[in-house]
Amino acid sequence: MPRNFFSVTATLVLVCCSSAWLNASEQTTPKTPREEQMIREVLELERHAKEASIHNDTKFTEQALAENYIAIGPLGTVVTKSDMVDVRRRSKLHYEFIDVSEMVVRIYGYTAVVTAKAEVKGSDFGEDFSGPYRYTRVWVKQNGAWRAVAYQATVTQ
């Protein structure tokens, strides 16, 4: 497996949100004011995740991912929190755009499940990884703070 595939997979783990985060509340039906607030908080985290991807922001990555975070990339690659932080520190990723659509946030107690479609155009060490993806990210609120605990991406057509 090429060295840069790991980097691309790890980066896609945090890729999300352009204008879609603004529309997610339209596709998500909160049942209570508490759920409505939680959805707003998660949408803001998703927006920050996009910015972290574009700017290789290690600080956000370290704060937003749980210590036992696990991600599964489009080809089954397993990525941990320490892997993600390392990728942010040394990355040679370049994005032309990240366009997210069909984002839905569902709340289950203190857990939020985000599903979305992402069209990505970019390269890693000169190798193109552009294309359509669908992803699921799971956020858990513990001790008053949201942390991403799981992520899975799939290449689509």
Q: What total of structural domains would you count in the chain?
A: 1
Q: How far is CA 104 from CA 31, 52, 115, 123, in A?
A: 14, 20, 5, 27
Does residue 95 surpass a pLDDT of 80? Answer: no
Give residue 88's domain range: 3-155
pLDDT digits (tens, 9 = 90+) for 28-57: 565 899 999 999 999 999 999 988 887 888
**What is the chain's length?**
157
pLDDT digits (tens, 9 = 90+) for 111-157: 999 999 999 988 777 788 899 999 999 999 999 999 999 999 999 98
pLDDT digits (tens, 9 = 90+) for 103-123: 999 999 999 999 999 999 887
pLDDT digits (tens, 9 = 90+) for 59-71: 999 999 999 999 9
Give this prediction's pTM. 0.82
The domain that contains 16 carries what CATH number? 3.10.450.50
